[in-house]
Amino acid sequence: MEIIIKKADLADSQLVYNLTKTAFKAYADPSLFPTTPALLESKEDIIRDIEEKDVLIAYLNNNAVGTVRYYGQDEDFYLIRLGVLPEYRGYEIGKELILEVEERVRAKGGRRIILYSPNRLTNLIEFYKRLGYQVIKLIEDDNYIRAKLAKIIDF
């Protein structure tokens, strides 16, 4: 089982769109969250992110199974839209995507990675904590609480 991670280019925009929609569909429960921004994205939003941010795609046995986006502001980088297809969760694809982001951020001179996650998704919060991220703030947003997590990147 080999996970290969590649940087997306514009030709991958439909693939990233499909991966994101499928991976985030589980969060489309209005009783959990009033909105799921990832599900509101258009293909044009994906194209803009590929042009303006770094977008990675994870492949397992030549099948695209996950994606993540990140971008930097000075020494801080932001990790967004980490998503793995439901049938591939548990294969450490999310972990490998995050480790790849960390390596790339380190190479760019980044010092910290910040991400946000719904606080009630305790399994996801624990996943990030196992990778060294710490909850640094809780924020009320659209009638639910988001956790702001961060990790200092060592050189």
pLDDT at 3: 96
Mean pLDDT confidence for 101-111 = 96
Residue 86 is classified by DSSP as: G
Greater confidence, 141 or 102?
Answer: 102
Closest CA to 121 of 110, 129, 112, 113: 129
Q: Is the pLDDT of residue 54 over 70?
A: yes
pLDDT at 32: 65
- Going along the chain from its start, the domains and CATH numbers come out as 3-152 (3.40.630.30)
Mean pLDDT confidence for 17-34 = 81
In which band, very low, low, confident or very high, does the pLDDT at 35 lie, cut at 50, 70 and 90? low
| Cross-strand bridge partners of residue 5 | 58
Distances (CA, A) of 66 to 4, 74, 93: 11, 27, 7
Mean pLDDT of all residues belonging to the chain: 93
In which band, very low, low, confident or very high, does the pLDDT at 143 lie, cut at 50, 70 and 90? confident
pTM value? Answer: 0.93
Nearest-angstrom CA–CA distance, 151 and 113: 5
Mean pLDDT confidence for 90-119 = 96
Nearest-angstrom CA–CA distance, 137 and 74: 21
Give the contacts of 11 (CB within 8 A, at least 6 positions apart).
none
pLDDT at 36: 76
